[in-house]
Amino acid sequence: MATITRTPDSSIGSALRVDTPTVKAKPVKYWAVIGGFFLLLQAYIYGRWITSDRFTRIPTGPDAQPGYMDFFTTAWQILAPLGALAMVWFFIIKPIRRDGRMHIDGLFVLCGLFVYWQDPMVNYTQLFATYNTNYFNMGSWSEFIPGWMAPNGSNFAEPLAWTPFAYMWGLVGGVFVANKFMTWYKQRKPHSGTLGMLAITYAFFVVFDTLMESGFLRLGIYTYPGAHDHLSIGGGHFYQFPIYEALLWGAAYTGFAAVRFFRNDKGETVAERGIDELQATPKQKTFIRFLSLLGIWSLIFMAYNVSWGWIALNQSDWPEDVRNRSYFTSQLCESGTDRACPGADVPIPRPDSGYVNVDGEYVAAD
């Protein structure tokens, strides 16, 4: 309620001052705006990609992948969608049918899907990672991301029957597992502070990601050919795993897990604070909560990708074990192109600049 007080004033004797209540900003509004921005941005990027001539399958090239990769290529493209359907059923559909609304875990499953558009950004400045082109793909939306630098970015063969679904059960499922671990640790160490919890969660994710990605790499789903072999597990092979990926992705994973774990007495995450004070219908509030969570998850993932932008500019020569497998390099470099693959001695090109060809000669821009 406003109050009126008098304050001394030398010119008129006294003046009236109206004291109005201080209105605290509601964090949920700001996070929802950020989430809304990223939602519109990806709609723009996907739209431009789908309606362009870059929306086309990237061929595998002349080299055949080993038989065990053929098996897992088929298996993963069946299991990944089924895993995503299970997440949708248990965390979105069942709660809505039971309670008439979606709970926070369902919103996290959606966030996993809607941060997926950032997946190719590990190659934002230079090609560093590649997917196996034997997986169903239609190229990538990479070059429609504002400011994209790496040439041939649209030939980054996104496995559309695997990666978007893996973000729903792999990313979000990992967060669920970590929160179980955090709960267990908190029970054993009840006096551990927030920093201690974050530190142990980070250590958990570094180990978790190392084991998980090392397995995926061995199966030939994707590669990190630009990794420094002396800082990688299995250096020099198509399955080399850069240790700094675990350090970076472990930090991102910890951020995602912390958002879900640290909630107030209302069950609100840091991004949802103030949602109860908004004048909105329950459905509108659910959508606002989704946008707020998408906003904070998007920024966490963006921080990870910005780090990779610098790392990709300082990569090693791609190993022959990758360059001799066209299903990893098709139409990115060498196989299907005259461009040399990135390396320590290869000048860093831009999309419309000159480049070094496979014979080590400079080719001027048109």
End-to-end CA gap in the chain: 70
pLDDT for 117 beyond 80: yes
- Provide the percentage of residues in the chain whose pLDDT is more than 70: 93
Task: Identify which of 159-163, 195-199, 362-366 has the greatest average pLDDT.
Answer: 159-163
pLDDT band at 25 (very low <50, low <70, confident <90, very high): low
How confident is the model at residue 10, as a pLDDT?
Answer: 39
**How much is the average pLDDT of 189-193?**
85
Out of 75-79, 281-285, 300-304, 349-353, which region has the weakest mean confidence (pLDDT)?
349-353
Beta strands per DSSP E along the chain: 3-9, 13-19, 130-131, 222-223, 232-233, 241-242, 355-356, 362-363
pLDDT digits (tens, 9 = 90+) for 131-189: 999 999 999 999 999 999 998 889 999 999 999 999 999 889 989 999 999 999 888 98
Q: How far apart are CA 159 and CA 139, in angstroms?
A: 9
Q: What is the pLDDT of residues 54-74, one digit of tens each?
A: 999 999 999 999 999 999 999
Mean local confidence (pLDDT), 200-221: 94
pLDDT of 7 strictly over 60: no
Mean pLDDT of the chain: 89
Q: Please give the pLDDT value at position 354.
A: 87
Residue 24 confidence class, pLDDT cut points 50, 70, 90 = low
User: Is the predicted pLDDT of residue 20 greater than 60, yes or no?
Assistant: no
Of 326, 239, 295, nearest to 107 by C-alpha is: 295
Find which of 20-29, 103-112, 170-179, 277-286 is predicted with most confidence, using mean pLDDT: 103-112
The percent of residues above 90 in pLDDT, for the chain, comes to 68
| SS3 call for 241 | strand
User: Could you tell me if 130 and 328 are in contact, meaning their C-beta atoms sit under 8 angstroms apart?
Assistant: yes
Q: Are 28 and 275 in contact (CB under 8 A)?
A: yes
Tokens of 156: 């980054």
